[in-house]
Every structure is written in C-alpha cells, then in structure tokens.
Amino acid sequence: MSVTRVAVTAERSYDVLIGHDLAGELPGLIGAGTRRVLVVHQGALAGPAERIRAALTGAGYEVHLSEVPDGEDAKTATVAARCWEQLGLAGFTRDDVVIGLGGGAATDLAGFVAATWLRGVRVIQVPTTLLGMVDAAVGGKTGINTAEGKNLVGSFHSPIGVLCDLDALETLPAADLAAGLAEVVKCGFIDDPRILELVEADPDAARDPSAPVVRELVERAVATKARVVSADLREADLREILNYGHTFAHAIEHHEHFRWRHGEAVSVGLVFAAELARLAGHLEGGIVDRHRRILTSLGLPTSYPTGSWDDLLTAMRRDKKTRGATLRFVILDGLASPTRLEGPSEDLLLAAYVAVSAEPALLVPQPEVSARPAPSTDEPPELL
C-alpha cells in the first residue's frame, strides 16, 4: 500500500510517514554517517525491537537495545539516567541515533534522552499506539515527569522522522485505541471538523483498526499537528491550541497517580474546557453537547467524581501554561476557532468542575476503557 508523507517544518524539517510495513524506511532515515543506534522500547515490544536490531545490524549499524518500563513509569529521571549510562558505555557520538519505539511515554523519554545527550543527537520516533502516532511522537516535545507534575522537565527536540506503522494498531487493546481517539477528536474541535463528521458517521468503524476510516483519521490528526507545529515549534503562541483539554486532563492524571490513560483524562478535559467556554460566554451549548455525544460514542469518560476540586486546582496551578499566578486555558469561540481564556475566576472554574462532576456511583461504567487489560500473551505484531 502507499505511504502518506506529512511534512513538518521545525528547527529541522522532517516527514511523518503513515502506512503499513514501514520497516524498510529506517536505514534511509538514519543515513550512512551513523555507526551506533540505541532503540528505547517498552518490554512488551521486545520482539519488534529485536527485529529492528536484526534489520539495522544487517545494514551495517551497531544496535543497542534499552528496555524501559511501561507507561508513565518510563518517564523518570532514574530511567533517563540508565539510558544515558548506556549511551556513554557504548561511546555514542553526535553522529549516532536514538529510536523511540512504543507508546507516547516511550517516545517522550527517547526524545528527551536524545535531546540531552551531548546537547542533542538525532532521534527517530516509531510510535506503536494511536496516541503516540497523532500526538506524542509528532512535534518535537520531549519530557519526563516529576513528583510535582507531568512533563515539567523537558525540551523541544524535533525528530528526523516519524514512522506511523498502522499494522501496530491491529493488536492494540481496544481501551488504548479509544483513548488515542480522544486526541483525534481534539484535533477535530480545534482545527478540522471533518474528523468529527467521520467519527459521528460510524463510531464503531473509528474504533476498528482495520477500517479505512482509521487511516484517514490518523492522517487528518497528524496534518493538524504538523500545521500547528510548523507555525510555532516552541509553543510561543499558536501551538498552545494543541493543549485544548489538557490543563484539566493533566490535573486528573496527577491526582490519579497516572492510573488513568492519558486519553481518558483528555476526554474529560475536553468537556471541562467546553463547559468553561460556555460559562464564560464564548461557546454555545450545542457544541458542548457535541463534545459529550462524540466522546461517549467512543466509550470514553466525560465525567469525573466529586470531592477532588482542591487537589485538581492545585495541580492546574502547576500547568506549563500558567504564567505567574494566572491560569490560562485553551477554549473555543466556536467550532475550529480556538482562543485563550486567561485568569478565569475560581468561581467560574468551580462551576465548570461541577458541570463535569458526578458521584462515583452515578458514573457510567466503562470497563473496557477504565480498567487496565491483563498483559497479553500474544506475540507483538510483526510491524518491524
């Protein structure tokens, strides 16, 4: 099948490749001047990592593997230090390359390790989740977490290429695919309403990795991010729109000690931001209702339990968009019309929280989304 290339212009220009069976693209991205490659991967992807090693070793590269914990547990200074140690022991130079293989946490970590080793070596991202493909791996944001919050330590460091191999989605747990769709829906509300129409036309197909519409959703979401990042790499202005729903979402993640999937938290965060915009007089209620309707159709949560406001507000005050004591939110003036709301009153914020809160017993059960699936015993996909 054909490969779609979406160009991103940053401190270096690169392509996001979307398609199937993209293994053959790696040597061309790495180039002839490189000797060593470090593949940072999650444990469940040991098989694909070994296949990358075999393919690149056959192409003449010296390949090292670095297995890291799953999920947000990978994004710590301790894990980054282990990767740095491995790079040092192997003698990595500025001509060498790091590859991030896995979900958004793995690509965030790999990018941060590459950005900080020798003040910057090249990185190639190979996301294996929908969330990674449409968000984390594209745009050059890298980072790790601290006890105080998510992604508070990081750097802007663009990759030299991103490979979105759609074959990886075939064995992705349904809950993880649904969580990734929250970021896709976000792109629909801030930039490309056609995304919303595609999901509304057939939510079940949007959750079926073999359905053709999934490829179009990935392509459209990546194109949105590429346009924004190319115009504003370092989040000086326009790029902040990509954080729509994320201020409240990051607070949920921190409060839940990262037990929620990122996309689950983003789903609630999108509704919170929409309610905040409605309460502030920016957004009409029909678009707020559309948020809930679309996200619910995908099996995603749109409410958060009551009783946590003080903790959530404290976490939001540590958000990267906060300036001094002023909280700043990305909201909508209308469909595909994002703007900023600076310094909303605590009464307004609390009202938005009440609008998305529910007693735990009243929350709609989402077992396929909210509960972590048992580890799969299946062999990881032959994506590389």
Q: What percent of the chain has pLDDT over 90?
A: 78
Tokens representing residue 48 in the block? 């694909």
b/e code 252-268 from CB counts within 10 Å (16+ = b): bbbbeebebbbbbbbbb
Asked if the structure places residue 132 within a domain, the reply is yes
The CATH number given to whatever domain includes residue 20 is 3.40.50.1970
Q: Could you tell me which of 153, 172, 165 has the C-alpha nearest to residue 127?
A: 165
Q: What is the pLDDT of residues 5-45, one digit of tens each?
A: 999 987 789 999 999 999 889 999 999 899 999 999 999 99
Quote the pTM value.
0.88
Q: From 349, 348, 355, select the one nearest 247 (Cα to Cα).
A: 349
Q: Please tell me the total count of domains within the chain.
A: 2
Tens digit of pLDDT for each residue in 298-355? 999 999 999 999 999 999 998 756 656 789 999 999 999 999 999 999 999 999 999 9
Give the whole-angstrom CA distance, residue 91 versus residue 87.
6
Bind-site residues for Zn(2+): 183, 246, 262
Give the DSSP letter string of 264-280. HHHHHHHHHHHHHHHHT
Same domain, 222 and 331: yes
Res. 356: pLDDT tops 90: yes
Mark whether 132 and 242 lie in a shared domain: no
The pLDDT mean for the chain works out to 90
Residue of 117, 158, 124, 115 lying closest to 41 (CA atoms): 124
Binding residues for NAD(+): 70-75, 104-108, 128-129, 141, 150
Contact (CB, 8 A) for 151 and 143: yes
Same domain, 263 and 165: no
Distance (Å, whole) CA 108 – CA 110: 6
Enumerate residues 6+ apart whose C-beta is below 8 A from 162: 14, 15, 16, 17, 124, 125, 126, 127, 137, 138
In a 13 Å sphere around the CA of 313, the CA atoms on its Cβ side amount to: 18
| Residue found by looking up tokens 């939510």 in the block | 203
Residue 214 host element (H or E) = helix 212-231
Position 299 in a domain: yes
> In Å, what is the CA distance from 257 to each residue of 77, 252, 337?
17, 8, 33
H or E, element range at 255:
helix 246-255
Contact (CB, 8 A) for 72 and 256 = no
Question: Is there a single domain that holds both residue 153 and residue 249?
Answer: no
> What domain range includes position 198?
174-370
| 128 and 178, same domain (yes or no) | no
Same domain for 140 and 16:
yes
Binding site residue list? 70-75, 104-108, 128-129, 141, 150, 183, 246, 262
What local confidence, expressed as pLDDT, does residue 220 receive? 97
